[in-house]
Structure 1
Amino acid sequence: MIVYDGVKTDFLKSCENDSIALEIEQNILSKMGRHTPKAEFRSWENSLNYMYKVLNDDEIPNDSGIAIEFNIPQTSKRVDFIISGYNDSQEPNMIIVELKQWDELKAVEGVDALVETYIGGAVRKMVHPSYQAWSYAQLIKDYNASVQDRRVKLHPCACMHNYVRQKDDPVDAEQYKDYLEDAPVFTKGHASDLRKFIKQSIVYGDKKDILYLVDHGKIRPSKSLQNSIASMLKGNKEFIMIDEQKVAYEEILRLSLMCQKDFKKRTIIVKGGPGTGKSVIAVNLLAELTLRDQMVQYVSKNSAPRQVYLQKLKGEMKKSSVDNMFKGSGTYTETGLNVAHTLLVDEAHRLNAKSGMFHNKGENQIKEIIHSAYCSVFFIDESQRVTMDDIGSVEEIEKWAREEESELSYLELQSQFRCNGSDGYLAWLDDVLDIRETANYDLEGIDYDIRILDSPMEVRNLVIEKNKSSNRARILAGYCWEWLKAEQNNTNYHDIKINDFEMSWNLGGGEPFAVSDTSVNEVGCIHTSQGLEFDYVGVIIGDDMRYENGKVVTDFTRRAKTDQSLKGIKKLYKEDPELANSKADEIIKNTYRTLLTRGMKGCYIYCTDKNMEDYLKKRLEMCHK
């Protein structure tokens, strides 16, 4: 959908009459039913007046097409500005312009395509403008049949008209080189360079014909995208399915393909605890359904699993169309009905109601996901809800599926957690942590290396030793130590101090914690490890979970102030102490249960509370009698 379209003369006239921003505002209200915030309205006025200056050139055809706020089909993403026409060989071309109001930014070392800039009242990490423009162009190219069939050439760029570029500017840092080559950035004082960029590809006007073709193009994954993800998955041992994983995969595949044929909505709930291969199934389906001509995306609330599985697919490849297939759960607040064929929602227990930077967008992520796809697949473990905002439950999914008139199906994965496929360790943990009573008082017959250690240094030494063979061992901790933002990239600053033991929380920059070669020297938390698996983990249990008067107790007051997972608990405690303690107890115990089940072969535990240490040792001793 295009919010505003016209030819160049229409656009110039609207700018001269000071009506362009008003026309866009009215179109958004009539087409999308959305009111425009004042800040967005002002940004249109500023940016579009700059584009008026750029396009006010006789060599740019008067009948070239102009589109503003082009909503990329199957997404809630909008391209700021498009110019369409033909090159000197009469081939269809489109210039895609990402408009930015930024006047400063800082390069972020060690991560791909991220910068820091002041936006929304704070300094935040954002994608580099070149990456954003390139990814939008790639998304259109990969899924728009008209672009593929008519061989429309796309030329992305970014325009930062308030930004004064300096020598050795951070916007041009080495890590952004690949994206800048495909999508150059034009800054303040360089309107003539942007004009030249446009005129290289737009020689003859198209009277909006190319815009019409693209806007009405069918959704179809390109052959290059299909081949790309298929080749990434082929031979990748990380994603080989076994036993019940294959059975669940085939059933989800069958139901999703039925949606593609009969256009009926279906919602599939897949229950499975740690180590059941939920993510492996999701990634395999992502590849196979794309090969079946579907628009399909892997969705998660947490960025950690998205980053890790994407990197495992891409390997050493830096730039790939597959990037656009991994989405955050807040992506679907403005997408229309059934715009995607299939959405594969991993870690569905972590879904929130509201979305956005300030948790003020949308109504309910579960509703929005089901609404946006013919087939929605939710991989869920209700025992892994770990924040006050987590709403993911089977009941909640069922509620919204019924409202959206979506047929419900259920699958359940049994644990492949241990070598012998037993879920006894999980049941034992539930019993030990007083989460639920089980018959598992011991670990008889379970091949798992669990040790309760006397110091965090012992945990560290064991994990470092185990990590040497395959970089699959990590230290994790409960959120009982402050995570100072000012020191998040300082490896010499040690957030966690216990007697003579000192370590840093995992650093803010660099590769994802789960795959970085240096992460074994840092401590991960629930947010950087949930949804991921290691061979071995060391877990530091802090003072928020102790053993007192013969039972395991939790204490939310011992959580770090920087922890957002219990945000609002103090206010709730004043209103209803019993409810607050109950909620906090569930979240804290679920957090440790999740941390203690990240290691597939072993777990090494240290407790800051001596009574808790003695209790766990006693329970472990009972297993060997």
Structure 2
Amino acid sequence: MSESSPDPLRYVHSGRVGDTAKYLEMPEFIDQCRDRYRAAGFGEPGESEVNSWRNSWPPLLRALVRAGLEDLWIYLEFGTPEGNSRFDALLLGSTGAGELAAVVVELKQWKQAASLSHDRVRVGGKGGDIRTHPVAQVAGYTTFLCYWFSSPDLSLDVRGLVFLHNADEKDVTPLRGLSQTGYGCPVLSGELVSRTPDGELLRELLRCSDARAVSDTQLKAFETSSWRPNRELLSLVADAIRRNPSFVLIGDQQDAFLQIRAKVDDALASGRQSVILVNGGPGSGKTALAMRLLGTYMGETEEGARYGTPSATLRRNVRLAAGVPGSSRLFDLPRGVLKGATLVILDEAHRLRRSGGDFGTYVRKNLANVPVVVVFLDERQRIRPTEGLGAWEVHRLAEDPRIDVVSHELRGSFRCNGSRAFSTWVDALFYDHPYSWSSPDYDLGVVRNPSEMEKWLEECLRQERRARISAGFCWSWDKVEEGQQHPGVRIEWQDAHTGHAHLWRRAWNLHEEEIGDEGEVVAPQSQLWATQPGGENQIGCVYTAQGLEYDDAGVILGPDLVRRGDRWEARREKSHDPAMTRVGAEEYLELALNTYRVLMTRGMRSCRLYSTDEETQEFLTSLMPPTPV
């Protein structure tokens, strides 16, 4: 089995606890940490970050010194090698030959916080900020250490604790319930630590009663170890995927799965690198097939498989679907040289960014050590000017004598009620000669106004169906401060019968989830809009819908794409998507057509259309009779 090269550790400071306590008394120490923060690639530290160092590091170091733990090793602002998280502090202490205690410490300056549902807390009383429960934070960090640290010479006994150094015991007590529900992470108040006598009791509180000085050999083994998923993690993810009903394969998907497995087996037996291109339109089962391949090879092969997608929305949703703590890195798009994987799956490859060289460079540079790469692609789902991958680029890899390229086509339709007629109609509508809709195998219609679309949505919801309304990117997506009104979709329309003017407004792509007084999620953050409860209370866009599906799809065509005569016209100036600022008219037309094609093909059972442009609305209506609500 090939070994991953060690990932360089990144942190702001490391050293013995006793030495670090002395450094904190030096005026220049914090400024030196600013420089190390930048050098580690963490970015520019904000003033709030630096103030947290000044306020939180000294109480922790004083407690460690009082406990007689001066010889332990400490990292401050320890960055996990996958780059997604930073620990406030990580303590290392030897518990025997070849074993270290690794204690993750989460520091909080809070004086008061109340536990809510869904592993959340409200900080500072009623109306305060909603944050992740610090015990849940630590649980994520410790799980990462358990599943990803790999060393032939060293094992970690992973532990964690939360230290609210400004808080009294009465303020911390409400937070301790979560630590008693399987997380096993104590929450310490400043009052408790200060009143605990020096010595053994304090060492127990800090989870270091059996820890002593780390030897130079142990420290070197820790800092040069590999970070890669262990077999337990791979097996857990494989089992979760196999059990998930969203990834059950039928019909054409199952045939494709068996054929691709045979091709993968041939590639592994030949010893040559192979790239398998899987083309498929909307609803052809690309992601379901990709996840089944992931689960299969993660569970059967020694080194496992990796899944990556450029779509942040899809990535977040498949992580939730797997539901295994510590597994998030398995779903990241590989960057840098990847080793230790039998199979890499690139889903939604049409979303790959064009910067940093062509696709061939990416495969030869980043994935050169991976025997098989499977690429899932639909060229008509390219929606940004900076993105896109053509099938010709994949086939061009065959010019390299070391690489075999094979193709597979997914021709089935498992969305839109399995209606090939609807998929064909949508493609004709946008790319060919539109014709009237008459097929009985899919529920398609045009509504007269947005209020009518909302009534249709409500009826779907009453039938316990997952219905959503999406729209073109024709409204601003500005982030707002807490307490300000969310920007939203605003449509003015006039009743043809009464002549009355109406204003229809709905929330639009929420940057942050909305939390109720009891901690319940009222509306999810936009990346989870399509799949989580409460998503029906906002309007989504192509970036938060692509790669996903729901029962019923309402689509609002904005003024950026209009029908004039026998052709579509794109109006880039009507777009609020910052990615389109410098796009020419011809390219924007292609992207707009692709965007609305994606939105119209999300619905499993039905689709309703509405255009804010009167002439376009008349054109759509002419293709079918209005559907009564």
User: TM over 0.5: same fold?
Assistant: yes
Give the alignment of 1:603-618 within 5 angstroms.
603-618=607-622
2:532 corresponds to which residue?
516
The amino acid across from 2:475 in the alignment is W
The one of 481, 484, 491 aligned to 2:475: 481
In 1, the alpha carbon distance for the partners of 2:365 and 2:66 equals 45
Count, aligned residues: 576
Q: Report the Cα offset of residue 384 of structure 1.
A: 1.5
The amino acid across from 2:215 in the alignment is K
Q: In the superposition, relative to structure 1, how do residues 235 and 452 fare at CA in structure 2: closer, same or farther (>3 Å)?
A: same
Give the alignment of 1:216-365 within 5 angstroms.
221-222=229-230, 224-253=232-261, 265-291=273-299, 292-314=301-323, 320-321=324-325, 323-325=327-329, 327-329=331-333, 332-333=334-335, 335-338=336-339, 340-353=341-354
Tell whether the 8 Å contact from 1:268 to 1:378 is kept in structure 2 after alignment: yes
2:143 corresponds to which residue?
138
In 2, the alpha carbon distance for the partners of 1:403 and 1:183 equals 53
Q: Report the Cα offset of residue 172 of structure 1.
A: 7.8
Deviations 1:585-610 (A, max 9, x none): 12222111111111122211112222
Tell whether the 8 Å contact from 1:425 to 1:446 is kept in structure 2 after alignment: no
Tell whether the 8 Å contact from 1:418 to 1:446 is kept in structure 2 after alignment: no
2:437 aligned with 1:437: no
2:493 aligned with 1:496: no
Q: Which moved more, 1:343-352 or 1:70-79?
A: 70-79
Q: Report the Cα offset of residue 437 of structure 1.
A: 2.5
1:390 corresponds to which residue?
387
Tell whether the 8 Å contact from 1:308 to 1:514 is kept in structure 2 after alignment: no
Deviations 1:44-92 (A, max 9, x none): 9968788765654572262x45567877567776767543334599964
Q: In the superposition, relative to structure 1, how do residues 536 and 481 fare at CA in structure 2: closer, same or farther (>3 Å)?
A: same
In 1, the alpha carbon distance for the partners of 2:606 and 2:188 equals 52
Tell whether the 8 Å contact from 2:530 to 2:545 is kept in structure 1 after alignment: yes
Specify the structure having the higher radius of gyration (Cα): 2
Q: Report the Cα offset of residue 537 of structure 1.
A: 1.0
In 2, the alpha carbon distance for the partners of 1:369 and 1:98 equals 39
In 2, the alpha carbon distance for the partners of 1:468 and 1:392 equals 41
Deviations 1:332-377 (A, max 9, x none): 55x44436554433222223356xxxxxxx8889966874442443
Q: Report the Cα offset of residue 450 of structure 1.
A: 1.1
Structure 1 unaligned segments of length 5 or more: list them. Answer: 117-123, 315-319, 355-361, 573-578
Q: Report the Cα offset of residue 141 of structure 1.
A: 1.4
In 2, the alpha carbon distance for the partners of 1:274 and 1:215 equals 46
Q: In the superposition, relative to structure 1, how do residues 239 and 552 fare at CA in structure 2: closer, same or farther (>3 Å)?
A: same
Q: Report the Cα offset of residue 556 of structure 1.
A: 1.8
In 1, the alpha carbon distance for the partners of 2:608 and 2:44 equals 54
Tell whether the 8 Å contact from 2:21 to 2:58 is kept in structure 1 after alignment: no
Identity rate of aligned residues, in percent? 24
The one of 544, 561, 564 aligned to 1:528: 544
1:597 corresponds to which residue?
601
The amino acid across from 1:450 in the alignment is L
In 1, the alpha carbon distance for the partners of 2:303 and 2:607 equals 40
Provide the secondary structure at the position in 2 that maps to 1:547: strand
The amino acid across from 1:505 in the alignment is W
Deviations 1:227-278 (A, max 9, x none): 5334434553221112332344345556667787888654433221110111
TM-score, normalization: structure 1? Answer: 0.73
Tell whether the 8 Å contact from 2:472 to 2:542 is kept in structure 1 after alignment: yes
Give the alignment of 1:78-97 within 5 angstroms.
81-87=89-95, 92-97=100-105
In 2, the alpha carbon distance for the partners of 1:488 and 1:423 equals 46
Q: Report the Cα offset of residue 187 of structure 1.
A: 8.7
Q: Report the Cα offset of residue 462 of structure 1.
A: 2.0
Provide the secondary structure at the position in 2 that maps to 1:486: coil
Give the alignment of 1:47-86 within 5 angstroms.
55-56=64-65, 59-60=68-69, 62=71, 64-66=72-74, 81-86=89-94
Provide the secondary structure at the position in 2 that maps to 1:523: strand
Tell whether the 8 Å contact from 2:161 to 2:186 is kept in structure 1 after alignment: yes
In 2, the alpha carbon distance for the partners of 1:138 and 1:59 equals 28
2:571 corresponds to which residue?
555
Q: Report the Cα offset of residue 528 of structure 1.
A: 2.1
Deviations 1:103-137 (A, max 9, x none): 99999988766999xxxxxxx99977655543233
2:496 corresponds to which residue?
none
Provide the secondary structure at the position in 2 that maps to 1:485: coil
The amino acid across from 1:294 in the alignment is E
1:576 corresponds to which residue?
none
The one of 546, 557, 578 aligned to 1:564: 578
Q: Report the Cα offset of residue 613 of structure 1.
A: 1.9
2:585 aligned with 1:581: yes
CA RMSD between the two structures? 5.2
2:377 aligned with 1:380: yes
Q: In the superposition, relative to structure 1, how do residues 174 and 15 fare at CA in structure 2: closer, same or farther (>3 Å)?
A: closer
2:412 aligned with 1:415: yes
In 2, the alpha carbon distance for the partners of 1:12 and 1:244 equals 64
In 2, the alpha carbon distance for the partners of 1:535 and 1:497 equals 25
